[in-house]
């Protein structure tokens, strides 16, 4: 099954019909539910507070959340998502995680205004590299 039914539905040309079927409805409802459950975003505080970027790669898509601590609580300031390019999709899992992290670091840099941040990727822990 197609992991991106909403994305694929929009890929036709200008005069191609837009088909909305059960698969697109299910994907839309799932996306709507996930967006309503996600924590609300806060505004980034551009001072000396570092950012943390958590990255995950799944189904050829790099996803991440950019977090900044406010008081003792971590608060998300951005959700990031990019589809991996065909070359990165063919890499082994550990290198695919590196490619996903590099892509999202470039996106997060635009929001952090080149402030320091740490990137965390569960795939890149020591046990998974051995």
Per-residue confidence band for 127, with pLDDT thresholds at 50, 70 and 90: very low
For residues 36-63, one letter each, b for 16 or more C-beta atoms within 10 angstroms of the residue's C-beta and e for the rest, the string is eeeeeeeebeeeeeebebbbbbeeebbb
Same domain, 20 and 57: no
> Which residues form the domain of 14?
5-37
Is residue 42's pLDDT more than 70? yes
Whole-model pTM: value is 0.67
Sorted by sequence, the CB contacts under 8 Å of residue 109 that are 6+ apart come out as none
Average pLDDT value for residue range 18-34: 86
Whether 46 is in a domain gets the answer no
Residues 123 and 81 in one domain: yes
Q: What is the CA radius of gyration of the chain?
A: 17
How far is Cα 130 from Cα 33, in angstroms, rounded to an integer? 38
The CATH number of residue 119's host domain is: 3.10.20.370
Do 7 and 28 meet the contact criterion of CB atoms below 8 Å apart? no
- The pLDDT of residue 98 is 92
User: What pLDDT score does 120 carry?
Assistant: 75
Q: What is the per-residue pLDDT across 65-108, written as a single tens digit (0 to 9) for each?
A: 999 988 888 899 999 999 999 999 999 988 999 999 999 999 99
Per-residue confidence (pLDDT) for residue 3, from 0 to 100:
58
Do 60 and 90 fall into the same domain?
A: yes
Number of domains in the chain: 2
Q: Report DSSP letters for 15-72, one per residue.
A: TS-----HHHHHHHHHHHHHHHHSPPP-----SS--EEEEEEEETTEEEEEEEEEETT
**pLDDT score, position 41:** 84
């Amino acid at each position: 099954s197609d992991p991106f039914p909403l994305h694929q539905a929009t890929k036709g040309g200008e005069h191609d019909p837009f088909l909305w079927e059960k698969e697109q409805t299910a994907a839309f409802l799932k996306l709507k539910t996930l967006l309503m459950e996600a924590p609300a975003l806060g505004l980034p505080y551009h001072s000396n507070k570092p950012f943390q970027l958590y990255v995950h790669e799944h189904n050829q898509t790099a996803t991440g959340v950019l977090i900044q601590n406010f008081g003792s609580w971590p608060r998300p300031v951005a959700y990031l998502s990019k589809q991996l390019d065909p070359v990165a999709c063919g890499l082994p899992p550990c290198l695919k995680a590196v490619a996903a992290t590099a892509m999202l670091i470039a996106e997060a840099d635009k929001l952090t205004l080149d402030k320091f941040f740490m990137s965390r990727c569960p795939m890149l822990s020591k046990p998974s590299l051995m």
